[in-house]
Amino acid sequence: MNCAFPAQFAFAVSKKIFPLAKDRNSIKRLMRESVRLQKPAFYQILQEKNKQLILLLSYHSKKISTLKEIDESITKLLNKVLNEL
């Protein structure tokens, strides 16, 4: 993989659980914001370890969570990914 960035992210929300596009877009927007806030530290660790990743983050809750809840979940997930490297 030859990319200018240490990590690439994609976001998915089920159309079956959230039939309205505005709800899916809202959740993806919150997920992107959470990743954006954590990206500098995440990128720095990946560059130190000389790794590149492509991550697909999928939302599986049946309710729309707040930014704080999503941010906590994504923080745990990214820390888990870094610990596995």
Residue boundaries of the structural domains of the chain: 7-84
Tell me what pLDDT residue 4 has. Answer: 77
The two structure tokens encoding residue 70: 């999503």
Beta strand 7-13 pairing with 53-59: parallel
Tell me what pLDDT residue 85 has. Answer: 85
Task: Give the Cα separation of 12 and 84 in Å (integer).
Answer: 23
| pLDDT digits 0-9 by tens, 27-76 | 999 999 999 999 999 999 998 988 899 999 999 999 999 999 999 999 99
Look at residues 42, 44, 49 and name the one whose alpha carbon lies nearest to residue 76: 42
Tell me if the pTM is above 0.85: yes
Tell me what pLDDT residue 2 has. Answer: 63
Task: Give the Cα separation of 7 and 5 in Å (integer).
Answer: 6
Tell me what pLDDT residue 1 has. Answer: 54
* The Cα angle at residue 13 between residues 32 and 33, in degrees rounded to 5: 10
